[in-house]
Structures are given as structure tokens and as C-alpha cells.
Amino acid sequence: MAAGCRFVAGYPITPSTEVVERIARRFPMMGGIFIQMEDELASMAAVVGASWTGTKSMTVTSGPGFSLMMENIGLAAMMETPCVVVNVQRGGPSTGLPTMVGQADMMQARWGSHGDYSIIALSPCSPQEAFDLTVDAFNLAETYRVPVLMMMDECVGHMTEKVIIPPADQIEVVPRKLTAKPPEEFLPYQLNGGSAPEFARAGDGYRFHTTGLTHDERGYPVMSAECQEQCVRHLIDKIKLNADKIVRFEEEGTDGADVVVVSYGITSRVARMGIELARQRGVKVGALRLVVVWPFPEKRVRELSQDIKAFVVPEINNGQIVLEVERCAAGKAAAILVPHMGGGVHDPNAVCAAIVEAAR
């Protein structure tokens, strides 16, 4: 709401339902619209459609619903539709552990829809970050005209902590970038020197066509390898070439470290105790917390791999982000997974044991 969102479509699913319950109560007081759809596929379709009216739009779900949304997340990527999808992750696969924590949707966030495209995904580790990063998610969606994913987890989603909400005039909000061109000069997918095309709202007198098919600057389908190269390359490059502006992480104690713990979400909070236990045993260990998970901080991981023995990666899954760490380290440093199948968080002693072993 603070980010300017005024349309939410969703379908109840544990452990994310409290978000839309709150929105359903608050939106009537501030001119917003919430619709409970018949399922998650329809929810994501409604969000895409609402965004084309110029309205900042969002949906909220968890694992099984996230899978159903993937088709229309891919459509949003192809149509360059700014929107936000919040996934409060739970244990899977299938219906799995509906009320218990997981982090096994991280690769699905990046690669879940078919074809080549880029998205942005953030991972909050606290209720305060859940607020702050949701505002950032809407701003990034507007800046790059891309679906932005908020990859929360059940623990953060149900956590109670103090949250400071700044006055409205202190919250940076990126507005929808509407074209100033007259209708006869407007092309819906013309870049005009920017990272993303300007926007025209449906109903404002602009004639345009938008589609999930490979399209030209007019938005019309063009079935050729040349247009495919141009169209898809843009979807990838608008994120890839701006990765240094988008990537965000927190780093602590990495200078002179032998081991660096890479973590995200609730696991980064649990890892703190494991790091402190390892330091008490004399291990030089630092921390790299991923705030933005996609695009991945490839450059920093490569730099760190030159000077350390190993990365330790605790995840509430059987190994997903550790694969990216291993890829970027490229054999310069080991990438050691500390897995957890879900349903709870790690024992900090398990993280400590992995750090101590990695430092030998």
C-alpha cells in the first residue's frame, strides 16, 4: 500500500493468507481493489491485466499456487508488465507442509516459466525488510518493467517484530512511466534509449497490441529468428546489463576470512549463531547475506572465491542457491551445502560444524 499498490488479486493459501486478509480490510478505505479469484492461475492473469490499466498490482501465494502462476509470470515477462508476486515459501513438493517453513522455490523463481527471460527476486529476513523490500520490489518493477518476486518464507511471514513505517513523504516511490508521445507517434515496445519502454494505459486513447508472442516495437507478432533474437535479448539484457544497480547484499567479516557463509531469508538469522560459535572456536569466518537473490551477485562471489577456502551455504532445501555459488566460485573455493528439508530451521550447531570442517 505504501508503494502505491491499488490492485491485488489472490486465492487463499497457507502460509500467505494473512497478507490478503489485511489488504481486503484496508483497500476499501483507500481506493484499492482486492479480488479473490477462483484460483492462482486466474489471480496472476488478473494482476497482468490490471497492470495494463496503469495500476500497480500484486498477488500473494505459496508453493502450489506459485507453480500455477508460472505460465502468466512468463506472459508478464514477455509483455514487460510491471507487477509484484509475493511467495511465502513452505515445505514441498506438492502440498508438502502447508503450515511449515521451506526455501525450495528459489530456482523455480528464476527458471519456473519456460523460455529465456530475466526477473528480479528479493528475500527479506525480517518483518521490517518485508515492508522495505516490498516497496523496493514495486520500484524495481516500474523501473525495469518486469515481474518482481518477493521470496519470503513462513518464518518471516509469521514473525512478530517491531516495524517502523516512515511517513509517506519519506518513502521513495517510483511512479509508472507514462509516455508523453501523442498516440500517432507511440510504439509500445520502443526503447527510446532507456532500459524499458514507456507505458501507455489501456483506455487512454492509444492503440496498441501486446502479446505473449515474439513481437516487434509495435507489439505485433513477428515469427522470425531475427525478431526472436531482438525481443528475447532485450528481456535478458535489461536486467543483466543493470545487475550492478539491482544486486544487493550484506557483507560482514569477510576480510581475512577462510570461510564465508552465504545465506538468505530466515536462514541468514539462524546462521548468525553458527558463525559466532565457529568464531569462538577460532575460525575466521565471514557472512554474505543475499538481499537480492536474482540477479545473483556473481561478481562478488567470484571475488571472494579468490581469497577463501570455502563457502558454506545453509538452505532450507536440498541445495539450490549453493549451485550458483559453486558455479561462480569455479573451483577456486569449495561450495559446501548445509541442507534442511524444511519444516523447521537449521540447528546452528550444524552450521558451525560445516564451517569448522570447511576451514580445515
Question: What is the Cα–Cα distance from 163 to 126, expressed in whole angstroms?
Answer: 9
The pLDDT value given to residue 209: 86
Last residue of a domain, which of 186, 213, 246? 246
Beta strands in 201-257 (DSSP E): 249-252
Question: 89 and 112: one domain?
Answer: yes
- Per residue in 48-102, pLDDT (tens digit) is 999 999 999 999 999 999 999 999 999 999 999 999 999 999 999 999 999 999 9
327 φ, ψ to 5°? -60, -45
Question: 319 and 268: one domain?
Answer: yes
Assign residue 65 the CATH number of its domain. Answer: 3.40.50.970
| Parent domain of 266 | 250-359
Phi-psi region of 94 (alpha: psi -120 to 50; beta: other; left: phi over 0): left
Question: 164 and 29: one domain?
Answer: yes
DSSP state of 202: T
Mean pLDDT (whole number) for 226-255? 97
Last residue of a domain, which of 222, 246, 270? 246
Q: Which residues pair with 85 in a beta bridge?
A: 59, 149
Q: Give all strands of the β-sheet with 310-315 in edge-to-edge order.
A: 249-252, 285-290, 259-263, 310-315, 334-339
The pLDDT value given to residue 296: 98
**pLDDT category of residue 203 using cuts at 50, 70 and 90:** confident
Question: 313 and 174: one domain?
Answer: no
Which letter, b or e, does each residue of 236-271 get, where b requires 16 or more Cβ atoms within 10 Å of its Cβ? eebbeebbeebbebeeeebeebbbbbbbbbbbbbbb
Question: What is the Cα–Cα distance from 313 to 142, expressed in whole angstroms?
Answer: 32
Return the C-alpha cell found at 350. Answer: 550444524
Closest CA to 264 of 231, 292, 236, 285: 292
Last residue of a domain, which of 246, 263, 282? 246
Question: 13 and 49: one domain?
Answer: yes
**pLDDT category of residue 288 using cuts at 50, 70 and 90:** very high
The pLDDT value given to residue 29: 95
- Per residue in 303-351, pLDDT (tens digit) is 999 999 999 999 999 999 999 999 999 999 999 999 999 999 999 999 9
The pLDDT value given to residue 339: 98
DSSP state of 249: E
Question: 242 and 255: one domain?
Answer: no
Question: Amino acid identity, residue 67?
Answer: S
Q: How many domains does the chain have?
A: 2
pTM score, whole prediction: 0.96
Question: 96 and 218: one domain?
Answer: yes
What is the CA angle 3-295-350, rounded to 5? 100
Question: 256 and 239: one domain?
Answer: no
Question: 254 and 230: one domain?
Answer: no
Question: 227 and 322: one domain?
Answer: no
Residue 225 has pLDDT above 80, yes or no: yes
Assign residue 337 the CATH number of its domain. Answer: 3.40.50.920
Question: 241 and 277: one domain?
Answer: no
Question: 218 and 264: one domain?
Answer: no
Are the C-beta atoms of 263 and 124 separated by less than 8 Å? no
